[in-house]
Structure 1
Amino acid sequence: MLDEATATNVIDYFLLQYRLPDGNTVADRFVTRRPALTDADRQMVLAWRDPVEGLFEVRGRNGDSLLLLNLLDDLEYCTYTNAGRTALRRVAKGSFLSARLVALAPAPGAWLFSGVMSSYPRSAMPEIAAAALDLAAGRPGLVFRNPEKVEQGWHSMREDRAAFAEFFGSDELILTPEEAEDRINAYYRHRQHAAGAGQCPGSPRGGQHAAPNPPLFTLSPELAEAETVGVIYDRVDGLNFYADYGSLRDLFANPGLPGRKRHQDLLRTYLREESITPLPIRRLAAAHPKTVDTVFRKLLRQPDFTWNEHGDALLRRRKPWYVESEQRPGVSVIGDRLSELLRSRPR
């Protein structure tokens, strides 16, 4: 049984963002079935499909609105409520809010609370900062609403990828699960030490040293049970891990190897799974140009298949979600204010 606040937020998400079988939202249908709406009203309702979710610090009050700083995207929002002025009366400057905001289009820079807002006192700062950090890491799309953070993310990822390739001698590895955990943890310790010594471009401001023990990296159960783990740090897709990547490499290296059905089934899985981008298949195709056509002719039973002619179309057909999505950096960044709050937490 959901509590009232959770139920309200679930309904809010369903109305504004949930994609129905035809790909539209309830907001889309509302606008389509009401041709008498003015252009301004139509624009406002459609803008609600892209709410801002976050943890906000209350920076001040301006009449009936609050000035909020989103700790995730580091942007300020002038925010109103449709519940009347009394709904915001007890919200103090310096306190924190967990909320969803929708744009009051076509009025530029104006936002409205949507769903249920939760309020926290200034004293909850350590917990709020930790929660914001977890959200930034787990849902980087909330951070990347800010174009500046997108560019910072790409910059940080380029630096980290270069350090990864220097440490390992390559941006692609094939390891046993045990080796993968040990070597990735060794890399993170190396980066943490470099940051603490001020040798890393991403080191904390003011010469502060990083925590002596970085979080321990562990593989998912699926990867931990694999024979091999492929580790690829791509310039666009970022750092990714692939189960039994060594077996897939063996198939491309020798399409006629004994027992290849198991390897072909693995390739089918790579083509089918939405959690796997086209990256590993593109990597193997590029590394084995003399055998890639044979691999896919046998797999697809298409004797005329050539990777150069048909490979891109195959990947677009099997993974349309990847082609249609906007590429984002695989490294999330945090804003100046959240950095300040994290540094000021009691240790």
Structure 2
Amino acid sequence: MNILVTGGAGFIGSALCRHLVADPRNRVVNIDKLTYAGNLASLRQIENFPNYRFIQADICNDALVAEILRAENIDHVIHLAAETHVDRSIDGPDAFVETNIVGTFRLLQASLAYWRELPANAVADFRFHHVSTDEVFGDLPFDTSLFTEDTPYAPSSPYSASKAASDHLVRAWHQTFGLPIVVTNCSNNYGPFHFPEKLIPLVILNALEEKPLPVYGNGGNVRDWLHVEDHARALALVATKGKVGENYNIGGRAERTNLSVVETICDLLDRKRPRRNGASYRSLIKFVSDRPGHDRRYAMDAAKIERELGWSPQESFDEGLARTIDWYLENAWWWKPIRDGSYAGERLGRLVAAQ
């Protein structure tokens, strides 16, 4: 298959590209605008593969996207290009509306026109796979409830609202125009090549640099953690085997409070890279004012994808987190230029909303 991955230089997109090109039957074309979170260094191991190509492009440029679809004879579009950080969406929502909503609209228009031009024998094989988040469902209480594919949308942040809007656009293009789509909603990802603003890499790298480990509120917010390589496997499976018009939840079945995640990282680093002063990294934990609209809990019911497509997470959270820490300890070449640049290793999303 010829697969177009949008946002393939990002965290999840690069993991997906690495996974897809490992199968020589796939040819992957990666388009990415290369904003702050897009990093070609994450693709270094596959950049010279014969079945991989990178094109710097903005999904809002529908004319260019249309040219790429035709020139590369694309069979599947897997759409990950998005602004993704909740904290940044609070500080500056404009880019989230432009990329996540307008960009998805323009990509849908280009894909629809391309699909309508395909020869009869190729029309049925085309798929537009939209990758979304559990955050569109809003807040869960602290009980046994889970997000299912039928959970009503109730986004809380500018980020989740923009993703909810893009989800609705994708489904509308299927219902109104017949575009063959699938939609996936995933829980919190973690793993190698994760941009240092996000909680797990932020805590790892701040700890290594003896900086405070900022935790919002009392750290009691709960997230379901999914290893990015498990997610990449799921995305590849849904793109090829998922039923047209359906959506699939992808979760790791690994609920943890934010404080528990931070404390586990500290304990692992105590063993793997002890501090010079002999103290525990836990002493660096600093509770900061909570993020506005901070949802209490997310948890995914992944029974549908497990039952219908045979997918299940292969990585336990404890083992996956330990491997993730090892990766950051061994790969300063990737993260150090980011930390040494304009990014200061702080948590965002509190100041603007308070003004």
Please give the TM-score of this superposition, normalised by the length of structure 1.
0.25
More RCO (CA 8 Å, sep 6+): 2
- The structure number with the bigger radius of gyration is 1
Please give the TM-score of this superposition, normalised by the length of structure 2.
0.24
